[in-house]
């Protein structure tokens, strides 16, 4: 056993060491001289020296193009096997380029983002498909942003009234074809009422009571005044319209306001029914709910209004009336009705003048004079749509109206 080990390790040891050294050198030389070809995908592309008046559709901040490319590289086996997509970047120099052009990616376009990889030593050849760069004129435009009706539910105890302003503008800079398309279609911004807490509105409402304001205005935070436009930016773009500082969601408390006025009731006969229904012979039947006062049919039962302000009710209550549509004489057919206001344009002016006259200096600072008036007119019209009548705090006003024996009978519906 000892003689075998001696022959292997001791005899002629200097020759054996020399052979080992030669073997190692040969292995290193051969290993480093092996060349392979490999395809690496999703290599990011960055452009430099782009003219100030030019851009590339979809180009990201920093000159990165939205699409990546695959390349085939040939080089040293050790280095090529170590390369990953994240190690490489393609640089396209656009100096003096003013029109679309097509190019091939070469070794000169390739840079290493990994300091441990030397492309000069490791890569001999780069092949790729043709890359077309489309240059567009860089333009800047104001694009309209429509503030749509919000989604979600208003916090408990509050009723959503409206959003103001309805439209803003955002200044955008980008490829001409993209900007033109956005300007033609416009943009939309929608808020979610569920993102607003009851506590936030309670705090605003408490401050309103000190200032005798009925509207609970939730001013939109700056972080919400952003819009996603993937074709221009991977990040939301902030709306830079100066009027955006007035952007708000308006609420009204679900309080019931006594109307303190009798409401006239009248019949309406469409012209198409005159040959079937005679307005001279069909009348309103009086009862405990609907009484004739000074030759007028009136609902004298105290009613309540919800979804509006006390100022609004005080201005319109003498002009409110209920209109019943009479268009069928069928037995059991229920007639429909609606609340109307006589000459609402005139009442709108009264409402706006009253509110503006009572504004505090702090309120006046919120908006420009013309916008303050437009805003209050918008509030009045919103009240016209949201006003609901109640016969008691727990029950909405629902009327059961029928026509029998040429008499229209009106009673509160128990449902």
Whole domain around residue 240: which residue ranges?
A: 138-252
In a domain, 1, yes or no: no
- Quick one: 204 and 334 in the same domain? no
Do residue 126 and residue 155 come from a single domain?
A: no
**Domain shared by 163 and 293, yes or no:** no
Does 29 reside within a domain? no
DSSP secondary structure string for all residues of 226-280 = EE--TTT-SSPEEP--GGGGG-EEEEEE---EE--S-EEEEEE--GGGTTT--TT
> Residue 284 falls within a domain, yes or no?
yes
For residue 262, is it within any domain? yes
Q: Which of 231, 252, 273 finishes a domain?
A: 252
φ, ψ of residue 255 to 5 degrees: the values are: -80, 150
pLDDT value of position 106 = 83
Torsion of CA 347, 350, 353, 358, to 10 degrees: -110
Considering 101, 119, 134, which residue would you say is the last residue of a domain?
A: 134
Total domains in the chain come to: 3
Q: Is 21 a domain residue?
A: no
The mean pLDDT of 220-224, rounded to a whole number, is 94
Mean pLDDT of 214-243: 92
How is residue 404 annotated by DSSP? E
Residues 273 and 227 in one domain: no
* 403 and 262 both lie in a single domain: yes
Residue 168: pLDDT over 70: yes
For residue 10, pLDDT beyond 70: no
Q: Are 82 and 94 in contact (CB under 8 A)?
A: no
* Residue 2 pLDDT grade (very low, low, confident, very high; cuts 50, 70, 90): low
Residue 73 lies in a domain: yes
- Pairwise CA distance, residues 321 & 337, whole Å: 10
Residue ending a domain, among 134, 162, 189, is 134
159 and 76 in a common domain: no
Indicate if 160 and 130 belong to the same structural domain.
no
Task: Give the CA dihedral 21, 23, 24, 26, nearest 10 degrees.
Answer: 120
């Amino acid at each position: 056993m000892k003689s075998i080990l001696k022959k292997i390790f001791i005899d002629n040891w200097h020759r054996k060491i020399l052979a080992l050294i030669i073997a190692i050198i040969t292995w290193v030389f051969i290993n480093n001289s092996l060349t392979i070809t490999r395809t690496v995908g999703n290599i990011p592309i960055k452009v430099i020296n782009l003219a100030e008046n030019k851009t590339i559709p979809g180009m990201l901040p920093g000159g990165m193009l939205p699409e990546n490319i695959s390349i085939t590289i040939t080089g040293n086996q050790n280095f090529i096997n170590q390369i990953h997509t994240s190690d490489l970047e393609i640089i396209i120099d656009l100096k003096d380029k003013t029109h679309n052009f097509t190019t091939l990616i070469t070794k000169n376009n390739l840079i290493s983002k990994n300091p441990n990889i030397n492309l000069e030593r490791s890569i001999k050849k780069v092949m790729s498909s043709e890359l077309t760069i489309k240059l567009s004129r860089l333009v800047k435009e104001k694009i309209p942003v429509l503030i749509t009706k919000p989604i979600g539910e208003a916090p408990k105890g509050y009723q959503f009234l409206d959003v103001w302003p309805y439209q803003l503008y955002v200044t955008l800079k980008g490829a001409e074809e993209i900007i033109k398309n956005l300007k033609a279609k416009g943009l939309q911004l929608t808020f979610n009422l569920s993102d607003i807490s009851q506590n936030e509105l309670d705090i605003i409402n408490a401050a309103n009571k000190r200032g005798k304001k009925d509207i609970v205005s939730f001013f939109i935070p700056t972080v919400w005044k952003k819009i996603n436009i993937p074709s221009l930016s991977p990040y939301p773009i902030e709306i830079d319209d100066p009027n955006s500082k007035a952007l708000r969601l308006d609420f009204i408390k679900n309080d019931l306001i006594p109307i303190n006025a009798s409401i006239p009731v009248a019949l309406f006969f469409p012209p198409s029914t005159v040959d079937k229904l005679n307005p001279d012979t069909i009348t309103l039947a009086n009862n405990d709910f609907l009484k004739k006062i000074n030759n007028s049919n009136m609902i004298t039962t105290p009613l309540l209004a919800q979804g509006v302000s006390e100022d609004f009710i005080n201005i319109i209550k003498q002009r409110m009336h209920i209109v019943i549509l009479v268009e069928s004489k069928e037995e059991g057919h229920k007639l429909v009705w609606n609340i109307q206001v006589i000459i609402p344009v005139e009442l709108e002016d009264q409402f706006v003048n009253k509110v503006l006259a009572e504004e505090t200096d702090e309120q006046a600072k919120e908006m420009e004079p013309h916008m303050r008036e437009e805003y209050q007119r918008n509030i009045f019209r919103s009240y016209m749509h949201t006003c609901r009548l109640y016969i008691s705090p727990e029950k909405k006003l629902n009327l059961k109206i029928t026509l029998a024996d040429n008499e229209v009978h009106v009673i509160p519906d128990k449902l």
